[in-house]
Structure 1
Amino acid sequence: MQYNYYEVINMKLLLASIAVLAVVVHGLNENVYRPCPQFWLSFNGNCYRYFGERVTWEAARDRCRDHYSFNGRADLVSIHTEQENGFAYDLFRSSAGITPSTRPPYYGAWIGAYQTTSGSTGRFIWTDRSGLNFERWVPGQPDNHGNNEDCAHLWRRNAGDDIFQGWNDLPCEEDLPFICKVAPN
């Protein structure tokens, strides 16, 4: 069987159209393995993202929970090792100059540790319900100053804090940027 020139061209166009349609229907990006959602960074088996928008702790938690991967719902970052703390701190520190506080040189980024009872002096827990098996409080913290510091944040007063990479408790109504964490795809 012999095909003429136009039949060959039409057949090639048909095959090309089918290929394009398959890409559109199934999505080009669906065929590419991405361990983390777009714009999220991978570290030790989880995905992280810094958000520079300054919001209350509760609004930060809710914004994190608006994000999903194939394997779960995001939440404010829970920190379980020194290495993970350093990674989260570096995410915050590398962007801190972009979102300065109204009280320079005070910088912070919400993390998922909080007290379930407002104004208490009890232990902090993580929003994702994982165990609080690692803590990195700045010396003298948490102090629950004014009986209303129930939420935790990474804290940076000055360049010296880059070595310690500590946490502080703060009123949950303060406006800070935040870091989210989610399981990879």
Structure 2
Amino acid sequence: MKLLLVSMAVLAVAVYGLEINACHPCPQFWHLFNGNCYRYFGERVTWEAARGRCRDHYSLNGRADLVSIHTEQENAFAYDLFRSSASITSEAAGPTFYGAWIGAYQTTSGSTAPFIWTDGSGLDFEQWLTGEPSNAGNNEGCVHLWRRNAGDDILQGWNDNVCERDAPFICKVVPN
């Protein structure tokens, strides 16, 4: 009888592609928070490349994208992922940059259009730094979490920036 039950379970997995992963609903190296899975990537790429890297990852229930942030708690969690994982590095062509791309962007670059999330929703929660979004040079259409320096761990603010700037990023996906 046990052999029959085991055979049926193996057959179900083979036929339906079921994955029994109740203890670890997130893909490997991802962190579960409030029903979603998150991962910080330290690779420094443009906003568009970061989005592409996120979309290369899947769970059984969906495709990852740059993180959308809808609550103060989610913002603090994403910031803590960035803060605890990020190495603060200097860029050869400019000052030290303390940022990580998130999924807010303007659909028309260089405009004054509202920002939206990569999941298509509007910004129902915002954590802009004072004076932001500024659209400096009429060329800041993408958003990143920002730290003033390595000791700045309480601000958790957002800044609009040039989408072509290289920065690490945070992805989000629904769990298995």
Shorter chain as denominator, the TM-score bin is 0.7 to 0.9
For residue 164 of structure 2, give the secondary structure of its aligned residue in structure 1: coil
| Counterpart residue type for residue 145 of structure 1 | A
Please, which runs of 5 or more residues in structure 1 have no aligned partner?
A: 1-14
Counterpart in 2 of 1:183?
Answer: 174
Structure 1 residue 31 displacement after superposition = 3.4
d(CA) in 2 for partners of 1:160, 1:138: 17
- Sequence identity (%): 76
**Which has more helix, going by share of residues?**
1
Query: 1:127-154, CA deviations, whole angstroms, 9 ceiling, x for partnerless residues?
Result: 1112310000110011000111000000
Higher strand share: 2
Which of 63, 66, 78 aligns to 2:56? It is 66
Residue 117 of structure 1: aligned partner? 108
Instruction: Provide the C-alpha distance between the structure 2 equivalents of 1:179 and 1:79, rounded to a whole number of angstroms.
Output: 11
Say which one has the larger Rg. 1
**Equivalence for 2:146:** 155
* TM-score, scaled relative to structure 2: 0.85
Is 1:100 paired with 2:89?
Answer: yes
**Normalized against structure 1, the TM-score is what?**
0.81
- Counterpart Cα distance in 2 of 1:31 and 1:164: 40
Q: What are structure 2's unaligned runs of at least 5 residues?
A: none
Match of 2:69 among 62, 79, 88: 79
Deviations 1:57-116 (A, max 9, x none): 00000110111111111000000000000000001011222x524145421000000001
- 8 A Cα contact 2:37 2:175, kept in partner: yes
Measured after TM superposition, the shift of residue 123 of structure 1 is: 1.2
1:141 alignment counterpart: 132
Please tell me the root mean square deviation across aligned C-alpha atoms, in Å: 2.1
Q: Which residue of 1 aligns with 2:79?
A: 89
